[in-house]
Structure 1
Amino acid sequence: MSVDPRVDPAVSCVFVCHDDAGRVLLARRGAGARDEPGTWDTGAGALEHGESFADAVRREVREEYTAAALDVQTIGVRNILRSGSHWVAVVNAVRVDPAAVAIGEPHKFDELGWFALDALPSPLHSQLPATIELFRAAAR
């Protein structure tokens, strides 16, 4: 009997935190990040059993950035196939209060910053450009 090597897709709730004034919040991934340390990225987290997308985003924003999600809007869905993993990413725009933001998971992130869309830092996480494109399209 052979073993099926297929791995079932997982659901990730990706969020682009913004200040409603043209800036987005990005975190630089630290040495303890799952992948691509040293790159700048938005936040994300796996959907837990029985959780709504919006509830997952609210939980993850609080965990990663210590802030309340003031407004959550789903802006798109992406299919991400990378190095043996398959994620369905539900992408959200999330308004937060910049004064409430801090690093909530210092083992994953070593710096936070607010950036205009035309002045993003580098290097960017490999998945960030497609996420930012969805954010730009939703803002139009």
Structure 2
Amino acid sequence: MFVCHDGGGRVLLARRSAGARDEPGTWDCGAGALEFGETFEAAVGREVYEEYGVRPVGVERIGVRNVLRGDPVTSHWVAVVFAVEVAAEAVRIGEPEKFDAVGWFAPDALPEPLHSQCGESLRLFGATSAGSPPADGP
């Protein structure tokens, strides 16, 4: 998972389209999966480019999440969360089959509804200073 930011306090969110895997119509941070043999940082760079058509300016790990979804739990994974600085003016929708809008938002003025997994990643980002590790470490 990753939270893209512009280095000036705004975060980038994408609205999930009808073709998204889950929760269409919600605003979300970025995410993706590792490919075999890929480093975390390489996966984040690839996913940011695929989703937003832009290469990261900086990538920093900001936390790890134990993700449990459903009641009862129907999916479970571990997410390594990154803060990713990108050039705001270069961002575009790279996967129109998954997203129908992108936007830059101040952390205190987020759109609604948020994807169920977005809030915790944004909280991790908020616990940092534009991606710098929190005092207690990631």
Same fold (TM over 0.5): yes
Gap runs ≥5 in structure 2: none
Q: % of aligned pairs identical?
A: 66
Secondary structure (helix, strand or coil) at the match of 2:128 reads helix
Give the alignment's Cα RMSD to 1 decimal: 0.9
2:25 is aligned with 1:38: yes
- How far does residue 71 in structure 1 lie from its aligned partner after superposition? 0.3
Structure exhibiting the larger radius of gyration computed from Cα positions: 1
When normalised by structure 1's length, the TM-score is 0.88
Deviates more, 1:79-88 or 1:57-66: 79-88
Moved over 6 A (4+): none
Q: Partner of 2:126 in structure 1?
A: 136
Q: Partner of 2:87 in structure 1?
A: 97
When normalised by structure 2's length, the TM-score is 0.90
Q: Partner of 2:58 in structure 1?
A: 71
Query: 2-side partners of 1:41 and 1:137: how far apart?
Result: 18
Pairs within 5 Å for 1:52-67? 52-67=39-54
Count of residue correspondences: 127
Gap runs ≥5 in structure 1: 1-13
